[in-house]
C-alpha cells in the first residue's frame, strides 16, 4: 500500500476503495486546531499548530455492511468503528488494508469460552492482526463471522 502522508491522501484512498466496493461514502472535514478533536488545548480562536500548519481531521462514513465509520486524525492514526466496535490507534497507512479485510471477508470474530468474550480480528499486511475486544452484543454481521 502506498504511504498516506496526509489526511487528504487517506480520504482519496477511501474514495477509491468505496468506488471499488460500490459503497456510498460521506466525508466531513475539520481543518484547523480549533476544529480538530485532538487540539482542544490550542486555545480559543487558534487555527494553527505551533509550527504554523493547519491540522486536518476527517470523518468518513461508508455505506453497506458492516456499518463502518473512520475518523482520520492529524497524527497519522485513525479510529475505525465496525458495527459499533471501536478500533482505536489504527495507523493511517493501514486503514485501506483494514477495510479491505472487512469487505473481502478476511476479518473474523474470535470467541473465547471462558471467560466468555468476543474479539474482532482484522488481518493486516506483514502478518499482523488488529485485535479488538467487543464489549457489547454482536451485530448480525459480526455474529456471522464467529470462529
Residue spans of the chain under pLDDT 50: 1, 39-42
pTM, entire model: 0.84
**Integer Cα distance of 76 and 10 in angstroms:** 10
Q: Where are the alpha helices (DSSP H) in the chain?
A: 7-20, 95-103, 140-143
**Integer Cα distance of 100 and 29 in angstroms:** 23
pLDDT number for residue 39: 47
Among 25, 112, 33, smallest CA distance to 74 is for 33
Q: What is the dihedral of CA 116, 141, 14, 110, to 10 degrees?
A: 30
Sorted by where each begins, the domain ranges of the chain are 7-143
- The residue behind cell 468506488 is 19
Cell matching residue 61? 462514513
* Distance separating the N- and C-terminal Cα atoms of the chain: 28
Amino acid at each position: 500500500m502506498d504511504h498516506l502522508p496526509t489526511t487528504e491522501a487517506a480520504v482519496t484512498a477511501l474514495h477509491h476503495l468505496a468506488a471499488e466496493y460500490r459503497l456510498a461514502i460521506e466525508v466531513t472535514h475539520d481543518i484547523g486546531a480549533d476544529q480538530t478533536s485532538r487540539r482542544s488545548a490550542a486555545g480559543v480562536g487558534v487555527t494553527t499548530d505551533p509550527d504554523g500548519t493547519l491540522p486536518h481531521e476527517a470523518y468518513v462514513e461508508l455505506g453497506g455492511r458492516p456499518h463502518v465509520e473512520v475518523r482520520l486524525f492529524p497524527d497519522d492514526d485513525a479510529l475505525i468503528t465496525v458495527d459499533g466496535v471501536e478500533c482505536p490507534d489504527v495507523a493511517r497507512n493501514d486503514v485501506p488494508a483494514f477495510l479491505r479485510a472487512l469487505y473481502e471477508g478476511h476479518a473474523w470474530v474470535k470467541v473465547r469460552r471462558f471467560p466468555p468474550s468476543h474479539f474482532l480480528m482484522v488481518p493486516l499486511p506483514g502478518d499482523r492482526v488488529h485485535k479488538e475486544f467487543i464489549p457489547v452484543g454482536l451485530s448480525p454481521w459480526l455474529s456471522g463471522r464467529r470462529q
